[in-house]
Structures are given as structure tokens and as C-alpha cells.
Structure 1
Amino acid sequence: MASHRRPKQPSRTRVTVLTTAAAAAVALSSQAANAAPSEKPSKDEVKAKVDKLYEEAEHATEKYNGAKEKQEKLQKEISTIQDNVARGQEELNDLRDGLGSMASAQYRSGGIDPSVQLFLSADPDDYLDKASTLDQLSGQQVEALKKIQVKQRELAQQRSEASGKLKDLSSTRTELGKKKSEVQAKLAEAQKLLNTLTAAEKAALAAEEERATRASERTALTTPSAPATGRAASAYSAAQSKIGSPYVYGASGPSSFDCSGLTSWAFAQAGIAIPRTSQAQASAGPRIYSQSDLQVGDLVFFYGDLHHVGFYAGNGQVLHAPRTGTVVRYESINNMPYQFGVRI
């Protein structure tokens, strides 16, 4: 027989809890709907973030340049060693052929010496270690065997050196790839930020930069109190001829440059070889710490890690390749944290 008991009613406590939860959910939903959308970063905020990313990218660029320079140096050294090994092997073969000729002549003149037979069937190093047999050889044969032994040791050492440098080259290439990826990531992030600006905001930023560049150019071209002289004058003149050339990370001319690429290229035009990276260039000559003592054509270095370099242009201005998206241009020395100058 079916039960006719009334279904159990929810308690007042449970109804109250459910009602309260529902009300809270409605309130939160209403607040979310009425909340103001997140504010778009201003043009100046975007510029500050982009400038910071470009600075980080340039720091990575100088590390990239250092790894690239090391790679090129190692490749040259390895090539030289390999050439030396090839020539040494030819010399070793000639020495062995010469000793073989001696043995053949000895055989034709009445039989081959037992000690020479031993040599022909064993390694010369092992043979020379058997000092008791040396008295059976002629002086000429002993000298030939000693030359072979020396040459073999030289070749073994050179091959070992080449092997070590090849391992170093492999790790350098890995580092190079990592730094390249780091630079590209920073530049991509900067570009993503720039893409959030409107066309009008981008135009405004470009106009601001153009006005600052024109002002720096006028100031720099005013007769400086300490004009360039000698080699520095030639290098500075070469750099001036590249005003307007684009900044490209890792580039060292003649049509595009990064900061240390411009300075190293310019001094090369003056017949002076200086290191490729800004950090290495910082030790290329005596340092000038006071800006008042700088002369046109001195190298000037910025930031605590010295990852940026340019030419002092006089009147408180520098001529440099600033960063991605810019060109070789004049700029106030006070736009960056000055460390010291170097006179080449």
C-alpha cells in the first residue's frame, strides 16, 4: 500500500543560506557588469616600457656580439690548426718515406738490419723506447726516427688542441643562438606594445623624437670647445657619414649598425682596429670620467654594465646608433647614464 506521508520540507536555515548565496552571486555579477574596463596604457607609459625592453635587447645584443666574435675567432684558430696538422702529416709521411728508402738501400746492399725490420713492423715510439736496439742503427737512421717521434707528438698535441676548440665552438654556437632568441623576444614584445598605440599616438612619438634629434644636431654642429684630432677625428668623420643609417642588432656596417658596430666600423675606416663589443672597447684606451674633459671623437660609455657606446659629438651631445627602430643620429649625453669616455 502506497505511503501518503507528506514530503519533508526544507528547513528555514537552509532556505536562508540558499537565498543569501543567490543574493551574493547576483551582487557579484552586477558589480562585474558595472566595473569599469581596465584603462589602456597611455602613450608615455607604452614608450617607457618599450624603451626598457629596447635597453634589455641591446644588453643581450652586446652579449650576442661577444659570442659571435668568439665564434669567428675560434673558427680561424681551428682552421689554422687543421692546416698545420695537414702539413705536419705530409712532413711525417716524407720522414717515413725517407726511412723506408734507407731500409730499401740497406736491403739491396746486403740485407736489412733486424732493428730496421723491427721499426717497419712497429710504432716508432715503441721502437725508440727499446734503447738496447739503437746501437744497431746508423746515425742517420736514429736521427730520422727521432724526427718522426717529435713530429708524431706535435701532431697529437695539435689534434688535441683542435678537439678542445671544436667543443668550445659548439658551446659558443649554443650561446649565440640563445642570445639571438633573447634579443628577438625582447624586440617582439616591444613591437607588441607599440601596436597598442593608435596611428595618432605613433605619429606623436615620432614627432617628439624628430624634434629632439634636430635640437641635438644643431647643438652638436655648433663649434665645439674641444674639436676632434688625429685618428679620433677620422673615425668620427666616418661615423658622421653614416647618419641616417638604420640600427640593426649585430650589424657592423657598412649600411646598418648597432652601437658598437658603428664605433668599431668607424675606427676601422681610420685604420685602427678596436674590439667589437662595447664592454671590450671600454678598455681600448685611457678613461675620461669628467664630461668636461671629453673631446669630440672620444668614445663614451653608458649604463653600469657598459652595454652602450657612442662618439662624443661636443657640446654635451653624442653621435650613436641608439636602438631598434632608430637610425644613427645625435642625442643628448644626458639621455643615458654616462659612465666615462675613452680616448683612442
Structure 2
Amino acid sequence: MAAHRKPKQRPLSGPAARTAATLAIATAASATAFEGIGHAEPNLTPAQVKAKVDKLYQEAEVATEAYNGAKQKTQTTRKAISALQDEAARKTETLNAARRQIGQSAAAQYRTGGIDPTVQVLLSSDPSQFLDRASLVDQVGARQSADIDDIQHQIGQIDQLRSTADDRLTQLRADQAELKKNKAEVQAKIRDAQALLARLSAPERASYESGDTAAAPAAAASRSVARSSAVAPNSRAAQAVSFAYSALGSPYVWGATGPNAFDCSGLTQAAYRSAGVSLPRTTYTQINAGQRVSQSELAPGDLVFFYSGISHVGLYVGGGQMIHAPHPGAPVRLAPIDQMPFAGAVRPG
């Protein structure tokens, strides 16, 4: 009886091999696609989308304030480098002038046989005045020695200035890297938020962007009341409030400080700038730019801060309301201060 053997399988080649490879790739792609769907975020309700968008915008604001701080650092460092370079240039010119003077003196000594003309005049005077002449010669020598010492001191100062400028340049590069990182983080958060908002219907999106919450209609209705009933503690605060009202409707643009667009701390900074008061650039520095006040002591013009990381700020206008720049897509608006977790308040001086 003949033995039954399993026929040998030959490797596929030509069109058959290409067909098999195509099927394998298609199968793998399908598996990956199904795996992705299995791990994808399930469909979110409009309320869940809004909550996630709120969180992304709040995180973007944290990154925005970090960006603002890094930007301010780069500007300060650039100014410092420029000042150091200017000072080094001035000192270099002074040094060159001193070198020219000593060079001219050395040339004169060479032409007259190695003795300074002033010294020659002194030596050719009446012998009876020898002691006076000797004293003057000593003074001339001492002056030349002092000139050389001064030049050495100036060289040391210039070297120190250049070294400091190099250190500041290294710091500037680090600040620029931080700035770039924070900018990328802000942009990523905003893109994610906008992608989530795209899941909403047009009316739902419009409702979100208009700040339509339970308190929003009351806030809009109380706008004129807030302006008329609350009294600012001083003329500077009153001017800041007036500026904030004039900015209503201006677009939110991260990193902007006016005159036509603002981020949250840019708005408060611009409002007080209009009153002649200089505020720091970021929320986490503005909170230290005045007298701390409790929520029960709030008066128009006070800066009100939100979240544990002090990442958002608005300008209190009275009646439990503030004017603030909320987030991208939402213009400067009036809103109740209890919309967000209150973190503190200050009254700028």
C-alpha cells in the first residue's frame, strides 16, 4: 500500500502572492479599525461635550498665562541684553579714546628721544626750581600709570558686560523655548475644544458660545442696574470699569492686550492702563498687585480670580457681576462671578 503524504506547499509567487498580500493588509487594517472604534470615546451628550470643552478652555487658559509670563520674560531679557550691549559699546569707545591718548603720548616720547615733552620742559627750567620740577615729573609718571590702570579696569568691565550679555542670551533662548512650548500647548487645547464643539448642532454651539447658562439672562438684565447702583472706591477703579464696559463684544484672542482684542488678564491690564495704573501681565502676578479683599467686600474695579491655579481673572462691576474675556470664540462679556470657582480678589492701588 502506498504511503499517503501531505503534498508540499509551495510559496506563492506572481499574481497569487500579490493577492494574498493585499488580503493580509486589508485584514490587518480592518482589525485596527475595529480596535480603534472599540477604544474610541463613546458618543457624548451635548452637556458632556460642553463640560469637556469648558475643561479644555480652562486648561488652555492656564497655558495662555504661562505663555504670557514667558513672553514677558523674553521681552525683559531682550531689553537687558540691549542695555548691556549699549553699555559695552560706550565703554569700548571710552577705552579706545584712552588707548589713542596713550598711543599719542608714546609716539611723542619716541620722537623726542623717549622723554615726554612735558618732562623735557621741566628739566630745562631753572635749577633753583629743581624740587618743584621733580615733583611735577613724578606727577606726570603717576598720571600715566593711572591711565594704564584705568584702561585695565575698563577692559575688565567690558569683559564682564559681555559675559553677562552671553548669560542673558542663554536665558533668552531658554525663555523662547518655553514660549514655543506654551504656545503649542494653547493651540492644541483650542483645537481639541473646537473639534468637540463641532459635534454639537448649530443651535447648541451658538448657545454655548453665547454663554447661555441659567444665570446669563439675569446677568444681561442686570447690566444697567450694576452700572448705576454700584460705586467704585476711587476714580481709577471707575475708569477701569468704564473701559471694561466699552470693551464688551471685543473678541477673545489669547496673548492679546488690546485695543481691539483681549485675553482675560490682557483685558484687566488694559482697563487699568487706561486709568494710569500699571498691572503685571499674568493672572498669577496680578493677584499680588493690590490689597486683598474678601468676596463680601467686593467693589467695582476689583480684580476677581478663579480656579485653584489662579488661571482666570475678571473685573468686578457690582451686583455680583464681572466683565471678562472668557475664551476663544466668546467675546468680552458681562457674567456672574459665581459661574466659576472663586479663588480671590484684589483692589489695585
- Give the TM-score, by structure 1 length: 0.79
Which residue of 1 is the match for residue 162 of structure 2? 159
Residue identity over aligned pairs, in percent, reads 47
Q: 4+ runs of 1 displaced by more than 6 Å?
A: none
Which residue of 2 is the match for residue 82 of structure 1? 85
Structure-1 separation of matches of 2:210 and 2:263: 23
Query: What amino acid does structure 1 have at the position aligned with 2:97?
Result: D
Distance 1:195 1:317, change over 3 A: same
Matched, 1:294 2:298: yes
- State which of 1, 17, 40 in structure 1 corresponds to 2:43: 40
Query: What amino acid does structure 1 have at the position aligned with 2:74?
Result: Q
Query: What amino acid does structure 2 have at the position aligned with 1:84?
Result: E
Distance 1:111 1:244, change over 3 A: same
Matched, 1:241 2:243: no
Q: Equivalent residue of 2:289, what SS?
A: coil
Aligned length: 292
Structure-2 separation of matches of 1:62 and 1:208: 22
Which deviates the most, 174-183 or 234-243?
234-243
Which residue of 2 is the match for residue 171 of structure 1? 174
- State which of 237, 251, 255 in structure 2 corresponds to 1:232: 237
- State which of 239, 262, 266 in structure 1 corresponds to 2:267: 262
Matched, 1:334 2:334: no
The answer to whether the 8 Å contact 1:302/1:338 transfers is: yes
Which residue of 1 is the match for residue 194 of structure 2? 191
Structure-2 separation of matches of 1:231 and 1:250: 24
Which residue of 2 is the match for residue 50 of structure 1? 53
Counterpart mapping for 1:1-344 below 5 A? 2=2, 40-111=43-114, 138-206=141-209, 209=212, 212-222=215-225, 223-289=228-294, 291-344=295-348
The answer to whether the 8 Å contact 2:239/2:275 transfers is: yes
Query: What amino acid does structure 2 have at the position aligned with 1:288?
Result: V
Distance 1:45 1:229, change over 3 A: same
Structure-1 separation of matches of 2:2 and 2:105: 124
Q: Equivalent residue of 1:138, what SS?
A: helix
Query: What amino acid does structure 2 have at the position aligned with 1:298?
Result: D
Structure-1 separation of matches of 2:333 and 2:284: 21
CA RMSD, 1 decimal? 2.4
Q: Equivalent residue of 1:331, what SS?
A: strand
Q: Equivalent residue of 1:295, what SS?
A: coil
- Give the TM-score, by structure 2 length: 0.78
Deviation at 1:212, TM superposition (A): 4.9
Structure-2 separation of matches of 1:138 and 1:214: 88
Deviation at 1:224, TM superposition (A): 3.1
Distance 1:206 1:78, change over 3 A: closer
